[in-house]
Structure 1
């Protein structure tokens, strides 16, 4: 996994959400959470697994919506941030966070109603193996996002110390086929890359986001989108 040691550092975990989801990054946080809820909802009483849960942004949100959630991550410091978040929100009674390897999930087949992974596949060296494990432990649904190869993300990627794995729609289709998953729906968004929004104040970001959505809703929007959300069925 790219950046594995970096994500496990205490200082990275402590600053992770403030660095990425403040300022213009709040728009990213809102959109990602909406994408997850739109795909998985209603989630009350569902058993859900999030792999690479990090600081528990989505895990805690789903628990607050009434799901029984397990979050798995390789970073102990990230998980500690998630546990503190669960206590603050009062959802620690039906939200479990555990350290583990997403390539060898410690659960039986068909154990969860849904399995999700956000901000994960751009770091995956062997995406097919991870997706196969997600499919194995899900009885119904697998949801994940990717950064897109033919988009502004490819330019922004050059500035990143770790880079990102970028995917075309053809590559995602092949991954789904190879892991016996059927695509039920997809959404494509963000003409301007995430890194751009994180660098500007929220008020400025809101104006750019309006332009972003206008372009995104045009006939070329899906082709230019830097992020895709994939909703698959077992």
Structure 2
């Protein structure tokens, strides 16, 4: 995985959410959470695995809504942040955080109703391996997002300390086909990249986001979107 050592440091874990989801980044947090909720659907008693759960912002949210959920991550520091978040939300008894390798999931076949990963595949050196493992342990559904090759992110991607793996739709369709997954739905969003929103105050980000959404809803919106949310079913 790209930047694995960087990602696991205590300093990164402690500052992760403040750096990404404050200021204009709050818009990103809300949109990503809504994308997960829309894709997964009813949560009561659903058995869910989150890959690369990080600080648990999705894990805790789904536990609060009735899911039986396991959050898996390679970073012990990130998982500790997640456990603290779960304690504060009063759901520590309703979820489990585990340290583990997404390329070798410690679960039997068809163990979870839904398996999902957000902010993961852009760092994956071997995406086919990870998606195959997600498919193996999923009984019904696999959900994930990608950063897109034909987008503004490609302009500055080379400046990022870890870079990113950018995907075309054809790339994703091949990954799904190879993993025996059937694409059910896809949403495409964010003409402007995440990094732009994180740098500006929320009061400025809101009207810019309105313009961004207008472009997204236009005939060229899907083509230039920075992010895609993929909802696939097990064949």
| TM-score, length of structure 1 as denominator length | 0.99
The equivalent residue for 2:58 is 58
Q: How does 1:59-208 map to 2 (within 5 A)?
A: 59-208=59-208
SS at match of 2:206: helix
1:145 to partner: Cα distance: 0.1
- Provide structure 1 residue ranges, at least 5 long, that are not aligned to the other structure: none
Contact kept, 8 Å, 1:2 with 1:125, in 2: the verdict is: yes
Stretches (4+) displaced over 2 A: none
- Give 1:5 shift: 0.3
Distance 1:29 1:53 in 2: 14
Shift of 1:57: 0.8
Count of aligned pairs between the two proteins: 234
Q: Output aligned runs, 1:216-231, within 5 Å.
A: 216-231=216-231
Distance 1:12 1:26 in 2: 18
Could you report, residue by residue, the CA deviation over 1:167-210 in whole angstroms, capped at 9, with x for unpaired residues? Answer: 00000000000000000000000000000000000010001100
Distance 2:161 2:16 in 1: 16
Which residue matches 1:19?
19
Question: Any stretches of 5+ residues in structure 2 without a counterpart?
Answer: none
Rounded Cα–Cα distance in structure 1 between residues aligned with 2:80 and 2:180? 34
| Alignment match, 1:232 | 232
| SS state at 1:122 partner | helix
TM-score of the aligned structures, taking structure 2 as reference length: 0.99
- Aligned-residue offset at 1:94: 1.1
Deviations 1:35-82 (A, max 9, x none): 000010211110000010000010000001110000000000000000
